[in-house]
Amino acid sequence: MITRKTKLSVATGLSLALLLPTTAGASPFAEEPHALDVTPLHEIYSDIFDIGAAVEPHQLLGETGDVLRHHYNSLVAENVMKPISIQPVEGEFDFTEADKLVEFARENDMSLRFHTLIWHSQVPDWFFLDEAGNPMVDATDPVAREANKVLLLERLETHVRTIVERYKDDVDSWDVVNEVVDDNGGLRESPWYLITGTDYIRVAFETAAEYKHEDAKLFINDYNTEVEPKRSAIFNLVEELVEDGVPIDGMGHQGHIQIGWPSLEEMEDSIEMFAGLGLDNQITELDVSLYGWPPRPAYPSYDEIPMFEFERQADRYNDIFELYERQSDNISSVTFWGISDNHTWLDDRAEEYNDGIGKDAPFVFDVNYRVKPSYWAIADRGESEEPGTPEEPGTPVTFPDVTPATNGYEAIMRLAQAGTITGFEDGTFKPSASITRLHTGLMLARELNLAATSSSSFSDIPSDYRYLAEVNALYSAGVVQGTSDGRFMPQAAITRGELAAMLVRAYDVAPAASGVAHPFTDAVGSPYEPYISALYQAGLTAGTSANAYEPNRPVTRAELAIFVLRMQ
């Protein structure tokens, strides 16, 4: 809501039942932490932009609502604020469902985006019927056409004014018009355009500007803003409107992304183009589809999606959010078009192109709100990845979130003082946060002073990779071996089993013989069992309980510090 001064994180208890049970198949992430048990996304990016999600009213309840409160500080309606939902019959406004989202945003001190005042889709037919009930677009007489134009613009003005007046103290960002340019670069020949030309765009913005809160921003929103010829067409339209004094404050880039399209360069160029007009940029409908266009073939169910697809998606999310961070001076908000893989419009598209059977997985949480590799990829933001300059001798190292009561306190403090580990840019250490394979390797490379004697050939480590030297050093020392398909997966969260293997290799701990007894029943049969056994026999681990090691659970930063100190 407009009047708030600060944004607060609100977390509630975990509901035991899913609001909407998924039938998409089991998830491979059952052993991963729940979304409520990891660092909120909006806290990770709190210093640069809002993190939002699109929802339906029923998702405000139960487990979904809890996840929404925990991870997001901005909210947008997926459907219930579109024209057909709010004014299905002329003069009869129904705000019942929209009010639910507005109240939720108020109660949880969240920013609110309104989507959308004017669109060519999901708009009732009555808007475009003349006084006699005939389609306005069929009129050929110039006098009748002008009368129709006046009537339609009056209806538009009434619709916009009524909504903006009602929500002026709640909405921070208004999508005033949506998708006014077609894919070929021309103005979309919707009834709005055929009857009024571009006047409907001008009147919509002018009316919204007259009645909105003074701090709210007005956006033109569209998809494929990154690619030609549409990008230039939108830019030219917006430039003309701005020069004519139309009160446009920002460009909304929907951001329906695929793993391989569009290019990062195209995305960044688009943001900079609109910023050059003095406009704010918001990413308004972000999702990362596993598929190209058309989405054929698609995996029939969630449990049939192979892990490498999720890892490719994580790398893509990592690249995208690094771009957003670079452009943080030009971007004020990033909104996902959903919360988890159990509810996405992309499933409808996958089914449409695959005879009714298909499943996509575009978000950072799985169908059961467990974290995916994509979460770890974007949650990594802000950590000091450089080999780092150790603190001057004698300079005490402190972290506001590490106290003597913190698990691993001694290990964290000793390694930080030695310069082996570093904190985040905000001064915190985040002891309970996960850590990636890359950052684990960087810590070990610093600790052991490893040097490259050979080059790795990991398919996901390009020749200009920022940490190529460190990866080659780890590879040369045999600390990392990569996956069976030749990848390093730098942004994947490292598991306790993977860490055991890496530590045994790094510190030359003799792997235990196959079948050697250990108390960890959950490690039996694991590919990491010999390494876990070796650590146990060397007195370097006692597991997480008397009979459990949890080989598939991501390692926390505090746990890594404990392990490294023990290895020393």
Catalytic residues: 285
Lookup: tokens for 134 = 């005939």
Measure the CA–CA gap between 128 and 116, rounded to whole angstroms: 18
Measure the CA–CA gap between 290 and 362, rounded to whole angstroms: 7
Q: How far is C-alpha 1 from the geometric centre of its chain's CA atoms?
A: 22
Cβ atoms within 10 Å, residue 328: 14
Helices (runs of H) and strands (runs of E) counted in the chain: 18, 9
Contacts of residue 161, defined as CB under 8 A and 6 or more positions apart, other chains included, come to: 207, 210, 211
Give the dihedral sign, CA 268/314/480/496: positive
Residue closest to 318 by CA, chosen among 376, 382, 253, 367: 376
Lookup: tokens for 130 = 């003349």
Residue closest to 234 by CA, chosen among 218, 249, 217, 251: 251
Strand pairing of 256-258 and 217-222? Answer: unpaired
**What are the CA-CA distances from residue 6 to residues 69, 268, 376, 518 (Å)?**
15, 30, 27, 51
Measure the CA–CA gap between 5 and 111, rounded to whole angstroms: 11
3-state DSSP of 323-341: HHHHCCCCEEEEEECCCCC
Bond into 229 cis (ω within 30)? yes
Residue closest to 383 by CA, chosen among 263, 491, 288, 245: 491
Measure the CA–CA gap between 530 and 547, rounded to whole angstroms: 16
N- to C-terminal Cα separation, the chain: 52
What angle do helix axes 409-418 and 557-567 make, rounded to 10 degrees?
A: 70
Strand pairing of 280-289 and 217-222? Answer: unpaired
- 209, 249 contact by CB (below 8 A): no
Q: How many CA atoms lie within 13 A of 469 on its CB side?
A: 7
Which of helix, strand or coil describes residue 365? Answer: strand
